[in-house]
Copies of this chain bind each other. A is one copy, B any other.
């Protein structure tokens, strides 16, 4: 099913126009709007053929044409013009990302916000890791007689803390003992290894009689579960309402609900390799809720067993070109920041001149 040069041009013009206006585009509008050197009648014939090939369709007889999902498919695969980021936009990204945020989840949150601001579509960011997450170290800090802080580091990029009151006094030596025990027995183990018997043993060994050990263990399990759940950070959800295709509240609701619902992100599309971008158009989506939306998602790898996905959802007539280029740039920057020598990436952005030094 090879398309002739002229058909390609017309298909591209139709999609470009539909992307910006959301109105079915007719032959007349096409020749006048675009700088077409063909007559409307010829364009009509071509459009009729594109329709029979399944790339265009008419909402009803005697209306203009709109692209079908397969139409968008060939558009993103071969027709789409590459969109360049302006210097301004690059600077925005660089400035936003240069804040040296090292904690993964805060970083993802920020990235999502940035993406949704830059694309004006709702955005999400989430991590997937092939290996099970484990806690790499514990620290205990006494605050006052009854209060202490436990700090747990997850892998090499996430630090979480919790403030704990104890019904009885906590002595510094008790905290030292806790620290030794947790660092010896709770680090490097997956969530399911934190069993009741391990907790009881630790309670005995530390001399804890009032459940402090249990609280710390519960906190640890919570962290490990959260890491496994691939929580997604959604931002700019309200942007969805700017698009006429989501005037229908139910539709918008389902999409936003789906994205925010934890656990669900499992069924979002994901690119196969580092720096890859995947575009999933309407019915290509696995999730029922996204069947009439499109998803563009970029991946960047951090270390050997963790991947970050940054994605955007919108109507099928999404501006694929603009979104793709921005996602690509942002995940590239994210990759620099997350690469083992994170500071190297940091240096890349120092310039603030928008010129890419890679």
Copies in the complex: 2
Partner pick for A102 among B163, B253, B342, CB 8 A cutoff = B163
- Tell yes or no: A272 within 8 A of B by CB: no
Which size class do A's interface residues fall under?
20 to 34
Known: A102-B164, A153-B149. A238 touches B215 (CB 8 A): no
| Complex: chain B residue closest to A158, CB-CB | B163
- Cβ of A157: which chain B residues have Cβ within 8 Å of it? 163
Our pick among B103, B137, B247, B343 for the contact of A167 (Cβ within 8 Å) is B343
Q: A241-B253, A249-B247, A342-B165 are in contact. Are A141 and B151 (CB under 8 A)?
A: yes
Contact A100 B215, beta carbon cutoff 8 Å:
yes
Interface residue A208 (Cβ < 8 Å from any Cβ of B): no
Q: Which A residues contact B (CB, under 8 angstroms)?
A: 100, 102-103, 137, 139, 141, 143, 149, 151, 153, 157-165, 167, 215, 238, 241, 247, 249, 252-253, 256-257, 342-343
Residue of B with least CB distance to A342: B165
Q: Check A151 against B153 for contact (C-beta < 8 Å).
A: no
Q: How far is the CB of A100 from chain B (nearest CB, A)?
A: 6
- Please, which residues of chain B bring their CB within 8 A of the CB of A163? 102-103, 153, 157-159
Cβ contacts A to B, 30 pairs, < 8 Å: A100-B164, A100-B165, A100-B215, A102-B162, A102-B163, A102-B164, A102-B165, A103-B162, A103-B163, A139-B149, A141-B151, A143-B153, A149-B151, A149-B153, A149-B159, A151-B161, A157-B163, A159-B161, A159-B162, A159-B163, A160-B161, A161-B161, A165-B342, A165-B343, A167-B343, A238-B253, A238-B257, A241-B249, A241-B253, A247-B249
A163 and B337 CA atoms in complex are apart in Å by 13
Q: In the bound complex, how far is the Cα of B162 from the Cα of A343, in angstroms?
A: 16
A91 to chain B, nearest CB (A): 20
Which residues of the partner chain B approach A159 to less than 8 Å between Cβ atoms? 149, 161-163
